[in-house]
Chain A
Amino acid sequence: GAVVSQHPSRVICKSGTSVKIECRSLDFQATTMFWYRQFPKQSLMLMATSNEGSKATYEQGVEKDKFLINHASLTLSTLTVTSAHPEDSSFYICSAPGGDSGHGELFFGEGSRLTVL
Chain B
Amino acid sequence: DAKTTQPTSMDCAEGRAANLPCNHSTISGNEYVYWYRQIHSQGPQYIIHGLKNNETNEMASLIITEDRKSSTLILPHATLRDTAVYYCIVTSGSGYSTLTFGKGTMLLVSP
Q: Nearest B residue to A94 by beta-carbon distance?
A: B43
Pairwise interchain contact B41-A106, C-beta atoms closer than 8 A: no
Pairwise interchain contact B102-A43, C-beta atoms closer than 8 A: yes
Pairwise interchain contact B43-A32, C-beta atoms closer than 8 A: no
Cβ-defined partner of A104 (8 Å) among B43, B49, B101, B104:
B49
- Whole-angstrom distance between the Cβ of B48 and the nearest chain A Cβ: 9
Chain B positions within 8 Å of A104 at CB level: 32, 34, 49, 94-96
- Whole-angstrom distance between the Cβ of B51 and the nearest chain A Cβ: 10
- Whole-angstrom distance between the Cβ of B82 and the nearest chain A Cβ: 17
* Interface bracket on A: 20 to 34
Chain A positions within 8 Å of B44 at CB level: 44, 93, 95, 106, 108
* Interface bracket on B: 20 to 34
Interface of B is mostly: loop
Pairwise interchain contact B41-A43, C-beta atoms closer than 8 A: no
Which A80-117 residues sit within 8 Å CB-CB of chain B? 91, 93, 95, 97-98, 103-111, 113
Pairwise interchain contact A97-B96, C-beta atoms closer than 8 A: yes
A25 at the interface (CB under 8 A from B): no
Interface of A is mostly: strand
Which A42-96 residues sit within 8 Å CB-CB of chain B? 43-46, 49, 91, 93, 95
Chain A positions within 8 Å of B16 at CB level: none
Which B18-76 residues sit within 8 Å CB-CB of chain A? 32, 34, 36, 38, 41-46, 49
Cβ-defined partner of A103 (8 Å) among B49, B87, B101:
B49
27 residue pairs A–B, Cβ–Cβ below 8 Å: A1-B46, A6-B43, A32-B97, A34-B97, A43-B101, A43-B102, A43-B103, A43-B104, A44-B44, A44-B101, A46-B99, A46-B100, A49-B97, A91-B41, A97-B96, A103-B46, A104-B32, A104-B95, A105-B46, A106-B36, A106-B46, A106-B95, A106-B99, A109-B43, A110-B42, A110-B43, A111-B43
Chain A positions within 8 Å of B, measured between CB atoms, are: 1, 4, 6, 32, 34, 36, 43-46, 49, 91, 93, 95, 97-98, 103-111, 113
